Structure 1
Amino acid sequence: MNKVAKATVALMIATIVAKVLGFGRELVLASSYGTSMYSDAYLTAMNIPIVIFASIGAALGTTFIPMYCDINNSLGEEEALKFTNNMFNLVATICLLLAIMGFIFAKPLVKVFAFGFKAETFEIAVNFTKILIVGIVFTGLSFIMTAYLQVKNNFIIPGIVSVPKNIIIILSILLSITYGPYIMIWGTVVGMATEFIFQIPFAIKEGYKYNLYVNIKDEYIKKAAWLIIPVIIGVGVNQVNAMIDRTLASTLVEGSISSLNYANKLNGFVMGLFITSISTVIYPILSNLSLDKNRGEFTNSVVQGINTVVLLVTPISIGAMVLATPIVRLLFQRGEFDERATNMTAIALIMYSIGMIAFGLREVLGKVFYSLHDTKTPMINGVMTMVINIVFNLILIKYLKHAGLALGTSLSSILGIIFLFKSLNKKIGYFGQDKILKIIFKSIIAAIIMGFSTYLTYKISNDIVKNEVITLIVSIIVGALTYGISALVLKIEEVNIIINILKNKKNKEYKI
C-alpha cells in the first residue's frame, strides 16, 4: 500500500479514537444538561473563541505548510525552522492580545453571538465566555504545532491531540453536576491547553527547536500574511455561517441552539473521520507536487481525492437521513435529553445531511487551491456561500424554524461547491470532471438503493426484535452490503482504493 494510503488509514484510526471521545463529550453534556440554558450558554461561550480565532488558526496552519515546503526546498531546514519560530512567537502575541480584548468585551460578544439570550442565560454565557476566551492562546499555538508535525508527515499525533482534552472536559462536566457548572468551564480551559502541550515533545522529536525570534519584516512572513488574509476570510465565513445559525436559533424556542449543535456534531464526526483525514494527508503532497510542476500527478491526486470523498460520504449522507431519529435516540436520549430534544435534533440532522457531500468536497477543493498558493478563490467562494446562506436562513426559518437553518446551510454549501468546481476548471483546465461526475451519479444511485434497503430492514427488524441497538446494527450492515454490491455492479472504480486500503496491499495503480 502506498505511503499516502497508509497515512490516511493511520489518521482515520487515530481520528476514530479522538472522535469517539469527542462524541462522548457531547453525550455527557447532553445527558447532564439536555437542551437547557446551561448547555446553550456553554456551547455559545465555547464557540466565541472558536469563531474569533479558529479561522485565523486554520489559516495559519493552511498557509504554513506550502510556505514551509517552499523555504525548505529553496533555503534548507535551518531557515524553515527559523520561519516556524517566527510564526510561533507572532501567533502567541496576537492570541494573547485577542484574549485580553475578548475578556474586556465579553458582553457585546455574547450579544452578537446570541442576541436572543435573556436575563440569566445571558449572564451565564458572559461569565463562561470570560473564562473560555483564555483558551485561544493554546488553540493558536496548537495550530502551529499541528502544521509543523503534518509537514513532517506525522499525522497520528495531530489526529489524537483532542483525546486528552476531551477526557478532561468529560470529567469536568461530570464533576460540574455536583460542584457547579463553572467546574465544567475551567476543565474545558485546561483541556484546551493540553492540545498544545501534548504536541510539544513530538515536535521536538521531529526536529523542532524553540528560539525567541520575532521579525515582522521577514519577507516570508510578509508573503504568508498576504496569503493568510484571504484564507482567514475564506475559512472564517464557515464560522460566521455557524454563528448566524446560532444567533437566529437563539430567537427560537429554548434548546434550538443545542439541537443544531448536536446534529452538527454528528456530521462533524463523518467530516473528521473521512474527509479531514484525506484532505490532511493529501495537502502536503499537493503542495510539493505544485512546486515540482508535476501537473499529471497533481491532477490525478485531485481526482482520486474527490472521488474517494464522494464514494465514502454519499451513503453516509443517505443513511443519516433514513436513520436520523433512531440514531439520535440511541446516542442522546437519556437524562435531561428527552423525546422533544430527540425530535428537534433528528430533523436538524436530516437537513444537515443533505449538504454532507458538499461540506466534504469543499474541504478537499479548498486544499487544492491553497496548495497552488491561490487563497483568493476560496475566499470569494466562501463569501458568496455565506451571503446565500443568510438569504436561505431568513426565508426558511419562517417555515421550518431551526430545521430551516440547517437546510439553508446545506443548500448554500451545494451551490458554493458548484461554483468552486467551475473556478477550478478555469484555473487548471481539465481535472477529470467527467470522471468525477460519473462517480457522483453512480454513488447517488447506489446510495438511494441502499437507503431503501436500510429503511425496510429497520422497519422489519424493529417489528421482530424490538431492540434499538440490534435493529440499527442489522440495518447498517445490510445497508453497507447493499451499497458495496451496488457500487461493484455499477463498476465504480474507486471501490478498489477502499478495498486495497482495507487489505493493506500495495497497488500502484490507485493512489489517493
Structure 2
Amino acid sequence: MNPGRKIVRATIVIFLLTFLSRFLGLGREMAIAYRFGATGETDAFMLALTIPNIFYNVIGTALAAVIVPVFEDYEIQGRRPEIWRALSVIVNFIIVAMGTGVLLGATGSSFIVRALGPGFPPETMQLAINLTALMMPSIVLITLAGVFGGILNANHVFGPVALGPVAMNLAIIVSALVGFYHWGIYNLALGTVTGALLFALIQIPALRQVGFKYAFLLNVQDPAVRQMLKMIGPILIVTGVFQIYSVIDVRFASNLEAGSIAALNY
C-alpha cells in the first residue's frame, strides 16, 4: 500500500474510532445519569474519578508527547534498541514509582478527598474516600496507556490508541447498567478500573508488532530518558494549568447541594 493510501486509511480509522468513543462517552454519561442521577453518591464517584483523569491528562499526555520526537530522533540515527531500553525504563518507573504512590494514596485517600471536596457531608465524604481508594490502580493503568499510545504514535500506528477510550467507555457503561443492582456505585468504580486496564491491554499486541522490546531496567540516567525528562517540564506545566479548573469546580461544587458535581459533569 502506498503512503498516500496509508494516510487516508489511518485518518478514516481514527475518525471513526474517535467518533465512536465520543458517542460512547455520551452513552456513559447517560448510563450513569440513568442509574444514579444527580445525587451525593454520584458526586462522590465524580470526585474520585477526578484524580485518575488529572494524572492521565497531565502525566500520560505529557509522556506521550515527548516520546514521539525522541523516538523519531533515535530512529533516524538507527538506534532503535537504545530507545526501546529507555522506554522500558519509563514503563518500569511508572509501575514502581507510581505504583508505590498509588498504595500510599489509597491509604491516605481521606486527605485527598478532604482537599478536593471539603464541603461534602460525612456520609458522602466517606463514600468518596472508599471510591478513591478503590480507583487508585487506574492511575497507573491509564498512565501506562498514555505511554503505550505515545510509542504506537511514534511508529505511525493509531488504531489501537483510538480504540482504547472506546473499550474504557464500554466497560463503564456495562458496569453502570449490569452491576447496578449488586454493588451500586462501587460497581461503577470497578468498571472504571477495568476500563483503564482494557485501555492499556488493548495496545499491547500492537506494541509487539512494532517491535517493542521490554526489559526490566530502571536506569534513569539513560540519555534518552534524560532527554525526555528535560522536554516534559513545560508540557506538564501547560497541561497541569488546564486541570486546575476541574479541581476548582469540584471544590466549589462540593459546598453546594447534593448532585452539584454530577450536574457539572452531565
Same fold (TM over 0.5): yes
Please say if residues 142 and 200 of structure 2, whose CA atoms lie closer than 8 Å, have aligned partners that are also in contact: yes
Following the alignment from structure 1 to structure 2, what is the Cα–Cα distance between the partners of residues 2 and 194?
Answer: 30
Match of 2:145 in 1: 142
Match of 2:69 in 1: 66
Following the alignment from structure 1 to structure 2, what is the Cα–Cα distance between the partners of residues 250 and 176?
Answer: 27
Cα drift, residue 185 of structure 1 = 1.6
Summarize the alignment of residues 452-467 of structure 1 with structure 2, pairs less than 5 Å apart.
Answer: none
Match of 2:96 in 1: 93
Following the alignment from structure 2 to structure 1, what is the Cα–Cα distance between the partners of residues 145 and 98?
Answer: 11
Deviations 1:436-466 (A, max 9, x none): xxxxxxxxxxxxxxxxxxxxxxxxxxxxxxx
Please say if residues 88 and 216 of structure 2, whose CA atoms lie closer than 8 Å, have aligned partners that are also in contact: yes
Following the alignment from structure 1 to structure 2, what is the Cα–Cα distance between the partners of residues 158 and 248?
Answer: 34
Cα drift, residue 9 of structure 1 = 3.1
Following the alignment from structure 1 to structure 2, what is the Cα–Cα distance between the partners of residues 183 and 14?
Answer: 26
Per the alignment, in what secondary structure is the counterpart of residue 14 of structure 1? helix
2:14 partner amino acid: L
Whichever of the two has the greater Rg, that structure is 1
Match of 2:156 in 1: 153
Cα drift, residue 149 of structure 1 = 0.9
1:192 partner amino acid: A
Following the alignment from structure 2 to structure 1, what is the Cα–Cα distance between the partners of residues 55 and 120?
Answer: 20
Equivalent of 1:183 in 160, 182, 187: 187
Equivalent of 1:216 in 192, 214, 220: 220
Q: Which has the higher contact order (CA 8 A, sep 6+)?
A: 2
Deviations 1:118-140 (A, max 9, x none): 11111111000000011111112
2:239 partner amino acid: V
Please say if residues 52 and 142 of structure 2, whose CA atoms lie closer than 8 Å, have aligned partners that are also in contact: no
Equivalent of 2:257 in 248, 253, 259: 253
Per the alignment, in what secondary structure is the counterpart of residue 254 of structure 1? coil
Cα drift, residue 216 of structure 1 = 0.9
Summarize the alignment of residues 308-347 of structure 1 with structure 2, pairs less than 5 Å apart.
Answer: none
2:82 partner amino acid: E
Per the alignment, in what secondary structure is the counterpart of residue 253 of structure 1? coil
Match of 2:199 in 1: 195
Please say if residues 132 and 185 of structure 1, whose CA atoms lie closer than 8 Å, have aligned partners that are also in contact: yes
1:51 partner amino acid: I
1:214 partner amino acid: L
Unaligned runs of 5+ in 2: none
Please say if residues 63 and 224 of structure 1, whose CA atoms lie closer than 8 Å, have aligned partners that are also in contact: yes
Q: Does 2:200 match 1:232?
A: no
Match of 1:84 in 2: 87
Equivalent of 1:42 in 45, 49, 58: 45
Following the alignment from structure 2 to structure 1, what is the Cα–Cα distance between the partners of residues 56 and 152?
Answer: 20
Match of 2:58 in 1: 55
Cα drift, residue 101 of structure 1 = 2.0
Please say if residues 249 and 257 of structure 1, whose CA atoms lie closer than 8 Å, have aligned partners that are also in contact: yes
Task: Return closer, same or farther for 1:252/1:240 CA change in 2, 3 Å cut-off.
Answer: same
Cα drift, residue 254 of structure 1 = 2.6
Following the alignment from structure 2 to structure 1, what is the Cα–Cα distance between the partners of residues 80 and 51?
Answer: 37
Identity of aligned residues (%): 28
Q: Does 2:202 match 1:204?
A: no
Please say if residues 11 and 156 of structure 1, whose CA atoms lie closer than 8 Å, have aligned partners that are also in contact: yes
Deviations 1:16-64 (A, max 9, x none): 1222222211110011111111111111101122224541111111111
Following the alignment from structure 2 to structure 1, what is the Cα–Cα distance between the partners of residues 195 and 6?
Answer: 32
Cα drift, residue 81 of structure 1 = 1.7
Match of 1:9 in 2: 12
Deviations 1:331-389 (A, max 9, x none): xxxxxxxxxxxxxxxxxxxxxxxxxxxxxxxxxxxxxxxxxxxxxxxxxxxxxxxxxxx
1:60 partner amino acid: L
Following the alignment from structure 2 to structure 1, what is the Cα–Cα distance between the partners of residues 133 and 55?
Answer: 13
Please say if residues 17 and 166 of structure 2, whose CA atoms lie closer than 8 Å, have aligned partners that are also in contact: no
Please say if residues 164 and 199 of structure 2, whose CA atoms lie closer than 8 Å, have aligned partners that are also in contact: yes
Q: Does 2:22 match 1:27?
A: no
Match of 2:173 in 1: 170
Per the alignment, in what secondary structure is the counterpart of residue 116 of structure 1? coil
Deviations 1:220-240 (A, max 9, x none): 212211211222121111112
Summarize the alignment of residues 299-448 of structure 1 with structure 2, pairs less than 5 Å apart.
Answer: none
Following the alignment from structure 1 to structure 2, what is the Cα–Cα distance between the partners of residues 52 and 84?
Answer: 19
Please say if residues 106 and 136 of structure 2, whose CA atoms lie closer than 8 Å, have aligned partners that are also in contact: yes
Following the alignment from structure 1 to structure 2, what is the Cα–Cα distance between the partners of residues 224 and 217?
Answer: 11
More off after superposition, 112-121 vs 52-61? 52-61
Please say if residues 57 and 140 of structure 1, whose CA atoms lie closer than 8 Å, have aligned partners that are also in contact: yes
1:142 partner amino acid: A
Following the alignment from structure 2 to structure 1, what is the Cα–Cα distance between the partners of residues 143 and 95?
Answer: 7
Cα drift, residue 253 of structure 1 = 2.9
Per the alignment, in what secondary structure is the counterpart of residue 161 of structure 1? helix
Deviations 1:88-135 (A, max 9, x none): 112222220221121122011111111111111111110000000111
In the alignment of these two chains, the number of paired residues is 262
Instruction: Calculate the TM-score normalised by the size of structure 2.
Output: 0.92
Following the alignment from structure 1 to structure 2, what is the Cα–Cα distance between the partners of residues 223 and 59?
Answer: 13
Cα drift, residue 160 of structure 1 = 1.1
What RMSD, in angstroms, separates the aligned Cα atoms of the two structures?
Answer: 1.7
1:255 partner amino acid: G
